[in-house]
Amino acid sequence: MSDQPERDRPWLFRTYAGHSTAEKSNALYRANLAKGQTGLSVAFDLPTQTGYDSDHELAKGEVGKVGVPVCHLGDMRTLFEDIPLDQMNTSMTINATAPWLLALYIAVAEEQGADVAALQGTVQNDIIKEYLSRGTYICPPKPSLKMITDVAAYTAEHLPKWNPMNVCSYHLQEAGATPEQELAFALATGIAVLDDLKGKVAYEAFPAMVGRISFFVNAGIRFVTELCKMRAFTELWDEICLERYGIAEEKYRRFRYGVQVNSLGLTEQQPENNVYRILLEMLAVTLSKNARARAVQLPAWNEALGLPRPWDQQWSLRMQQILAYETDLLEYGDLFDGNPAITAKVEALKAGARDELKTLDGMGGAIAAIEYMKSRLVESNAARLSRIEAGETVVVGVNRWREGEASPLTAGDGAILTVDPAVEVDQVARLNDWRAARDAGAVAAALAALRAAATAGKNVMPASVACAKAGVTTGEWAGVMRQVHGEYRGPTGVSKNPSNRTEGLDEIRDAVETVSKRLGRRLKFLVGKPGLDGHSNGAEQIAARARDCGMDISYEGIRLTPAEIVAAAAEAEAHVVGLSVLSGSHLPLMAEVMERMRAAGLAHVPVVVGGIIPEEDAARLREMGVARVYTPKDFELNRIMFDIVALAEPKAVAAE
């Protein structure tokens, strides 16, 4: 007879995955499940996330790059072929188009003969953090909030095991949030959703609905602080559910969360060190039983270099399995109850979060405070980067101990996964075939019913499911939402006024003054984000630092076409143009930008580019005429500022 103590059941093992096509992603999912993964986490490409079909102008170069393209029911059907959805727990990282992707998922489940009421999983469905940090929003805040609660109300009736929302604080930390800000901004989002949801579900059904709201959080390298943050989250959420909403049953007040550990801290330099970072960050969300994640997905060690290969994802999966099955962690109760250091840190984090929540409440809640929260994140991120630049925050291999052996893991061809450009051509061809084969009358009728429901303020989920079955495309569904509710441009968080962080900038400010006099006006630096990439943190920090260095900046935010960027450069008479692309679509987008710059008579204006760009791609960009290429290893913003000043020198222009 075994004397082994009874072990807790481990969390769900997930890998965030999807790329190229639905067929290739399906093969990847089935392979990962065979390796011991216990849940799916679907990454969608940017056109799908922002409600465009693969042949839209803004989708050019973006198809299949950061996730899988899903344009219609046929794509969703292929994505889950031979994967029984009634036996799966599926997380879909989708926000603005969450009602639509859930509708497609339901339609495929019905085709498989599944009981829809048995489906388990999550749509992220947190549009507020999209305005703050990720940028895949479509509509203004109020109608977007309504769509979140439409999904929640629909699942309450039809998919009782489904989590209708992940309140996602993950990207808040990626955007620079302090632990207190991450706690407060995420909890304020949950409050905004529950306040709106109260009027959409029956009084007696509301507690169970509160119990189905989940969170998706980030765990950084300061893993003791992160562990305490998770315990603070559980205690604050319990407090809010009990005091604000009167939820009596403890099980409905539980803080239920999944996690991806921090990708922000993964380094391009000495990338093998990232394995240790990922392991330590995983401990923050698994060691404390009372604040343990329900699902964990780990990035791959080489994500700062590009798309990870299946082997890289397998390595991260094995890390989870070793902790769960080889160690004795799951044989014990909470290891930290009664620890005075942990208790003190948790209480300090809760106090800071309560203060921030009080501020947000005074402004009218999360929806009303979007601009305030965005500006706070930009400020916090600037402070974080300044500490790294100054060496106050040590990052091994980046600002200390830079010398090291060359990594054999990054040697040779195929060290990272690349998406064949032919994927986009094939996807567009399949999309055209789909449109040609469907019943046009049924599509028109379904879209008309969707428009009527959205206009009347009815729940859009039933009409969305009908659209999915009729053959409507992602772009057509989102097009109706755009027509009814309008589009939205979120705040950039970068004010025109310099900050008080000018210490150490005197030399650059003097150089800017000197060059501006030679130019005959203030050095004009235009910062832009072409394509659909909404990761704006880098662009915001470059714009803010350039502003603090005395430059005249122009930064209008995300999701601009190359034509719009070139037109803005001409109108502003920019001396230097700086573009940020982190989605892997830098080559096609920059080819178009450079061609348009020449056609507009702006070939003399230097263009610099930043992003996750392999060296061979950087060489191709330089061949196109790009003046400088920056990657995550270029963390010293002041050096970039000196480069911009040098490029703007009149003599440099004359030499072109």
Just list the catalytic residues: 16, 170-171, 529, 533, 535
Q: Is 468 helix (H, G, I), strand (E, B) or coil?
A: helix
Q: Which residues contact 296 (CB under 8 A, 6 or more apart)?
A: 11, 12, 13, 14, 258, 259, 260, 261, 282, 285, 286, 320
CA angle 466, 468, 471 (to 5 degrees): 110
Contact 19, 419 (CB under 8 A): yes
Q: DSSP alpha helices (H): ranges in 438-528? A: 440-456, 461-470, 474-485, 506-519
Which amino acid, 514? T
Q: d(Cα 84, Cα 95) in Å, to the nearest integer?
A: 24
Read off the tokens for 556: 């209008």
Number of continuous H segments (helices) and E segments (strands) in the chain:
25, 15
Residue carrying the six token digits 């409600």 = 51
Q: Which residues contact 400 (CB under 8 A, 6 or more apart)?
A: 391, 394
Q: d(Cα 216, Cα 201) in Å, to the nearest integer?
A: 24
Contact 336, 287 (CB under 8 A): yes
Read off the tokens for 616: 């061979």
Contact 303, 266 (CB under 8 A): yes
User: How many Cα atoms sit within 13 Å of 223 on the Cβ side?
Assistant: 16
Q: d(Cα 41, Cα 466) in Å, to the nearest integer?
A: 25
DSSP string, 266-302: --SSSGGGHHHHHHHHHHHTTS-GGG--SEEE---TT
Which amino acid, 246? G
Buried/exposed code over 295-305 (b: 16+ C-beta within 10 A; e: otherwise): bbbbbbbbbbb
Which amino acid, 332? Y
Read off the tokens for 526: 């235009």
Q: d(Cα 60, Cα 575) in Å, to the nearest integer?
A: 27
Q: d(Cα 13, Cα 296) in Å, to the nearest integer?
A: 6
Contact 190, 148 (CB under 8 A): no
DSSP 556: -
Residue carrying the six token digits 């076409």 = 561
Least Cα distance to 234 among 377, 369, 337, 118 occurs for 337
Least Cα distance to 585 among 97, 69, 123 occurs for 69
Q: Which residues contact 81 (CB under 8 A, 6 or more apart)?
A: 26
Buried/exposed code over 370-391 (b: 16+ C-beta within 10 A; e: otherwise): beebbebbbbbbbebbbebbee
